[in-house]
A = this chain, B = another copy of it.
Amino acid sequence: MKCKRCGGSAVVEVRRHNAAFCKDCFPVVFRNQVRRAIDEYDMLTPGDRILVAVSGGKDSLALWDVLLEEGYRADGLYLGLGIGAYSDRSHERTMTFAADRGATLRTVDLAERYGFDIPLAGRKGARSSCAVCGLSKRYIFNKEAHDGGYDVVATGHNLDDEAATLLGNTLRWNVDYIARQSPVLPETPGFARKVKPLHRLSELETAAYAFLRGIDYVVEECPLVAGNTQLRYKEAMNAIEARSPGTKAQFFLGYLDRGMPIFRTAEERVTLVACGNCGEPTTAMFCAFCRARAQVLGERLVPTPAPDSPREIARELADEVLPEELYGVPAEA
């Protein structure tokens, strides 16, 4: 195979584009796709202070790498989940990455700061460990962005992630969650802007980019993820993709183009109020994070005096895990 860009010897094949690229051209093509995503959705401006949620995996480190290469002011945020050696290795890789580039890495340790870790949540909580992990990430990324004065949180969700999430939400016709699965969520009171600049790029492409850029990332999957429904949706999408290359991109990008506008018009606005415990926005008396934490730790949540008036704020994106985990069951709202 020859590189589509320079005619040299290709090392990465992108079947859905019926193209292949050499080791020098692929990173260029990859960055072009990221730039295209950023431009198309007005994700970032040059002056933005960006907080990149980094896990030590290929996607988030590839994203951080591209943003730094493109000259953005991008700091990393690593969240210590307490998942044994897996978390240790992940932290190590993010620290090495940051040190090599002279980039700033912030770290929050879940156990240290909030008194529980993900394995404990999996054992003690009413939710799956993946669910608590997802809602903790959303909560903490948002809070750290706010506390640190960042303009935007960038996450490494790739096309496979987005297609699998969309498939899961569509199989359930969770119409509100479908409506909000956008690559960019503008800032609203209580919520930082959220962007997903890798949404046009597949898992394979981010892995190839990380490899070609010499990024030392954690290859292993999280040990708690086995049986995760998201993985099943990825498998289903992969089975279709193998026979019909381009299906994933058609599904997710087609949704952005033709599906989302329809769901957006049908979307209902909800009223968010300040969590009675931590003050972060929620639809319930207490936010999903505080409820999950209290449940894991066996604590009782007691409302603090209500703020002057409930805040009307726009809805938050639900990503990574099923959004009911974020908002809780409707009866609680």
Contact = CB atoms under 8 A, between A and B. Distances in A.
Nearest to A248: B171
B240 A171 contact: yes
Contact of A266 (B173, B239, B265): B265
Given A172-B250, A263-B262, A239 B244 contact: no
A221 to B, nearest CB: 18
A173 B255 contact: yes
A259 B171 contact: no
A39 interface: no
Q: Tell me whether chain A's interface is mostly helix, strand or loop, or mixed.
A: helix
How many A residues are at the interface, by size bracket?
A: 20 to 34
A179 B251 CA distance: 17
A236 interface: yes
A174 to B, nearest CB: 8
A173 B239 contact: no
Copies assembled: 2
Contacts of A232: 239-240, 243-244
Contact of A240 (B236, B255, B266): B236
Contacts of A278: none
A247 interface: yes
Nearest to A255: B173
A42 interface: no
Nearest to A236: B236
Nearest to A237: B236
B171 A258 contact: no
A173 B236 contact: no
Contact of A247 (B171, B240, B258): B171
Interface of A: 170-173, 175, 229, 232-233, 235-236, 239-240, 243-244, 247, 250-251, 254-255, 257-259, 262-263, 265-266
Given A171-B247, A232-B244, A236-B240, 4 more contacts: A171-B240, A173-B251, A233-B240, A265-B266
8 contacts: A171-B254, A173-B258, A175-B262, A232-B239, A233-B240, A236-B236, A236-B240, A262-B263
